[in-house]
Amino acid sequence: MAKSTGSLVFLFIFPLLCNNLGGHVKFAYGLVKTHELNREAQKSWCVAKASSSDSTLQNNIEYACSILGDCKMIQPGGSCFDPNNLFNHASVVMNQYYAFSGGNGWNCYFSGSGLIVVSDPSYDNCKYA
């Protein structure tokens, strides 16, 4: 019995359709720019796992800040100083490191103490990158 080649045809024709639409993909509700789809699909942040020990959080802060070179945002008077606790401070600098290093899953590993989230953890004046 012959197998259908319909899916193979789609794989070859779909990219051509996208190019012919000027970088847009046509959906039932209209055209959407393909780079907008990619950007939304990739939006994520890195935070500390709630189960992380204080020593792990402190090590994460020290490591991330040594790479970033500037962690003023978690110092007194900084935009992310309050609430003044290790979990909050570690989450902020871990995310800064994650964004700085390329935003790949491995950039949020931190020996198993990092967690990638898809909801923006920013609050008040503390804006996560």
pLDDT tens track for 23-49: 444 434 344 444 444 445 569 999 999
* The pLDDT value given to residue 22: 46
Q: Which residue has the tokens 């902020």?
A: 92
User: Domain-by-domain residue ranges, the chain?
Assistant: 6-40, 43-117
Q: How would residue 12 be classed by pLDDT, with cut points 50, 70 and 90?
A: very low
CB 64 within 8 A of CB 97: yes
- What is the reported pTM? 0.69
